[in-house]
């Protein structure tokens, strides 16, 4: 399993920023705002925060510790716990094969909107413009292919020269730009209304669906349940640093960026009196409309879509690295071959998800178009399932005491308790409730 010539991160900061890059993405800037809006604001936020710092953090640590120990891709890592558990690695690959084809379609939209932001002031009806764009066949596909190939090139360039280098540049830029944008938006009239909606809980909105959505959001946002940190952890050369020290900042940054996104998007929406529950189109319709009416609107629109592109790309590469590592470690493919194979697969599947907004809109599975069905299946079912199996594998079969993530023994004990009891029970309850079995 342990190969001496295995790729490795160049520095501790490298793995930290690459992991934070995986976590911070469209989940924070695109999915979090519309999920929060659809689930009643503040009350959703509370569950999201609680889940992030308990189940979310515990799973990030577990995955990273497993990867650092076994130094191989997820199915080998689970196989090390017990040969029968290798299938969990297969589940990880399946999940990535479902997320990438719709995640990268949104990546393509963002790329297109970077170009559109130059002519933002000439657009009359933003809703129509977005529907026309996303339901047409040619344009979104073209940008999706471009985005997908861009992602593939970074993954192709490898761990240190590709992923690490890109994340080291992108992450600080993203953070600074987001703060600039937030300050601008908070200066708008009635911005406070949005802040209130975001923070004030409405307990009557809490139900099984809200909880499932919040947990799904945490899994998606912090990138757990799919073996990303097992894979990234496997490229850590020296194991002297405690896992929690490297991974704490990832969870904190992920939550912080979601908060910044909420503090940018809700005030903007409220100050323009726009209905809040716009769904996935929120950032493509509502926000460009708002930017267009501001002085220097093109500039702020451009900044916004650059932030989105950077965040999305650092996540897409992590989604792709999992199957690529599998093909290289297990199937002994060369890296270029693995990248090309998986890219071709995503280009084909993504074509269908992209077309589900237009030509294939009639084709629905259980009442949802392909794109929505993939998102639901991945976030609300497969990721929690992957997380649940990880808890059982580590907490019960391996024994959580075998993975040391904290130097401090009290924190280590609470981590073990969380991974053995709290996380699996909570995930199971919420999953069952969400699919209406209890």
Nearest C-alpha neighbor of 403 from the set 125, 62, 133: 62
Q: Which residue's CB is nearer to ligand TRP, number 151 or number 318?
A: 318
Question: Can you tell me which of 212, 226, 377, 423 binds ligand TRP, judged by CB under 6 A?
Answer: 226
Q: Which window, 12-20, 217-225, 290-298, 369-377, contacts ligand TRP (CB under 6 A)? A: 217-225
- The CB-nearest residue to ligand TRP is 27
Minimum separation from the CB atom of position 219 to ligand TRP (A): 6
CB of 291 within 8 A of CB of 120? yes
- Taking the least distance from each CB to ligand TRP, the nearer of 16 and 120 is 16
Please say which residue, 99 or 285, places its beta carbon nearer to ligand TRP.
99
The continuous run of DSSP H or E covering 285 comes out as helix 282-293
Instruction: Give the residue from 301, 353, 284 showing the smallest Cα distance to 100.
Output: 353
Interface pattern 3-32 for ligand TRP (x via CB under 6 A)? -------------------xx-xxxx----
Q: What phi-psi label fits residue 294: left (phi over 0), alpha (psi between -120 and 50 degrees) or beta?
A: beta
How many angstroms separate the CA atoms of 246 and 351, rounded? 37
Among residues 268, 207, 212, which one has the least CA distance to residue 29? 268
Query: Smaller CB distance to ligand TRP: residue 301 or 384?
Result: 384
CA distance 344 to 321: 15
C-alpha–C-alpha distance, residues 391 and 418, integer Å: 9
Q: Which is nearer to ligand TRP, 269 or 313 (CB)?
A: 313
Dihedral sign for Cα atoms in the order 46, 41, 256, 387:
positive
Q: Restricting to residues 366-395, which ones interact with ligand TRP according to CB under 6 A?
A: 383
What are the two backbone dihedrals, phi and then psi, of residue 369, each rounded to the nearest 5 degrees?
A: -65, 160
Q: Which stretch binds ligand TRP (CB under 6 A): 108-116, 141-149, 160-168, 312-320?
A: 312-320
Residue that has been written with the tokens 């601008």 in this structure: 184
- Which of 235, 215, 234 lies closest to 225 in space, CA to CA? 215
Q: Compare residues 57 and 191 and give the one whose CB is closer to ligand TRP.
A: 57
The region of 11-19, 66-74, 218-226, 245-253 touching ligand TRP under the rule CB under 6 A is 218-226
Q: At closest approach, how far in Å is the CB of 256 from ligand TRP?
A: 13
Q: Which is nearer to ligand TRP, 386 or 434 (CB)?
A: 386
Strand partners, 365: 368
| Residue from 43, 62, 221, 349 binding ligand TRP (CB under 6 A) | 221
Report d(CA 103, CA 312) in Å as an integer.
Answer: 8
- d(CA 164, CA 170) in angstroms, rounded, equals 10
Length of the chain, in residues: 438
Q: Which is nearer to ligand TRP, 229 or 415 (CB)?
A: 229
Structure tokens at 371: 């794109």
Please state the closest distance from residue 318 (CB atom) to ligand TRP, in A. 4
319 binds ligand TRP (CB under 6 A): yes
Between 231 and 354, name the residue whose CB sits nearer to ligand TRP. 231
Locate 261 and state its tokens.
């996104």
CA–CA dist 227, 78 (Å, integer): 10
Q: How far is the CB of 228 from ligand TRP (least distance, A)?
A: 5
Q: Bridge partners of 369? A: 364
Stretch of 45-53, 223-231, 299-307, 430-438 lying at the interface with ligand TRP (CB under 6 A):
223-231
Nearer of residues 56 and 301 to ligand TRP, judged by Cβ: 56
The CA distances from residue 187 to 113, 184, 294, 383, in Å, are 24, 5, 12, 38
Q: Considering the rule CB under 6 A, would residue 215 count as an interface residue with ligand TRP? A: no
Name the minimum Å distance from CB 25 to ligand TRP.
Answer: 2
258 binds ligand TRP (CB under 6 A): no
Give the SS3 label for residue 364: strand
The region of 221-229, 275-283, 287-295, 359-367 touching ligand TRP under the rule CB under 6 A is: 221-229
**Minimum separation from the CB atom of position 35 to ligand TRP (A):** 12
Nearest-CA neighbor of 66 among 375, 405, 433, 419? 405
Let me know the angle formed at the C-alpha of 174 by 173 and 177, rounded to the nearest 5 degrees. Answer: 85
Question: How many whole angstroms separate alpha carbon 152 and alpha carbon 133?
Answer: 25
Residues that bind ligand TRP (rule: CB under 6 A) add up to a total of 15
Q: How far is the CB of 159 from ligand TRP (least distance, A)?
A: 16
Q: Point out which span in 123-131, 215-223, 241-249, 389-397 binds ligand TRP (CB under 6 A).
A: 215-223
Q: Using CB under 6 A as the criterion, which residues of the chain lie in contact with ligand TRP when the complex forms? A: 22-23, 25-28, 220-221, 223, 226, 228, 315, 318-319, 383
């Amino acid at each position: 399993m342990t190969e001496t010539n295995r790729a490795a991160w160049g520095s501790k900061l490298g793995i930290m920023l690459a992991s934070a890059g995986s976590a911070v993405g469209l989940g924070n800037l695109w999915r979090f705002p519309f999920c929060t809006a659809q689930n009643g604001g503040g009350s959703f936020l509370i569950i999201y925060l609680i889940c992030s710092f308990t189940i979310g953090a515990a799973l990030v640590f577990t995955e990273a510790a497993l990867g650092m120990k076994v130094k191989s891709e997820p199915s080998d890592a689970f196989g090390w716990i017990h040969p029968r558990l290798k299938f969990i690695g297969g589940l990880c690959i399946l999940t990535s094969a479902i997320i990438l084809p719709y995640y990268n379609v949104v990546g393509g939209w963002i790329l297109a909107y970077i170009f559109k932001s130059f002519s933002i002031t000439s657009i009359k009806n933003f809703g129509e413009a977005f529907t026309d764009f996303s339901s047409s066949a040619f344009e979104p596909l073209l940008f999706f292919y471009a985005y997908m190939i861009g992602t593939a090139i970074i993954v192709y360039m490898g761990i240190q020269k590709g992923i690490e280098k890109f994340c080291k540049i992108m992450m600080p830029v993203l953070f600074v730009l987001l703060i600039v944008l937030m300050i601008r938006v908070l200066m708008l009239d009635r911005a406070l209304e949005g802040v209130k909606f975001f923070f004030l809980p409405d307990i009557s909105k809490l139900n099984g669906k809200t909880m499932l959505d919040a947990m799904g959001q945490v899994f998606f946002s912090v990138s757990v349940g799919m073996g990303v940190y097992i894979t990234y952890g496997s490229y850590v050369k020296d194991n002297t640093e405690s896992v929690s020290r490297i991974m704490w900042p990832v969870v904190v940054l992920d939550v912080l960026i979601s908060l910044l996104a909420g503090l940018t998007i809700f005030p903007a929406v409220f100050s323009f009196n726009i209905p809040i529950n716009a769904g996935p189109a929120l950032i493509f319709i509502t926000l460009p409309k708002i930017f267009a009416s501001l002085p220097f609107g093109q500039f702020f629109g451009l900044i916004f879509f650059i932030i989105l592109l950077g965040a999305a790309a650092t996540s897409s590469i992590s989604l792709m690295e999992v199957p690529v590592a599998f093909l290289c470690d297990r199937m002994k493919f060369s890296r270029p071959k693995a990248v090309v194979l998986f890219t071709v697969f995503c280009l084909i599947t993504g074509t269908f998800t992209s077309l589900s907004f237009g030509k294939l809109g009639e084709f629905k599975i259980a009442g949802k178009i392909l794109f929505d069905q993939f998102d639901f299946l991945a976030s609300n079912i497969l990721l929690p399932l992957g997380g649940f199996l990880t808890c059982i594998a580590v907490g019960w079969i391996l024994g959580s005491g075998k993975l040391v993530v904290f130097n401090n023994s009290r924190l280590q004990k609470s981590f073990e308790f969380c991974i053995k009891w709290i996380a699996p029970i909570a995930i199971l309850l919420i999953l069952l409730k969400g699919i209406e079995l209890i």
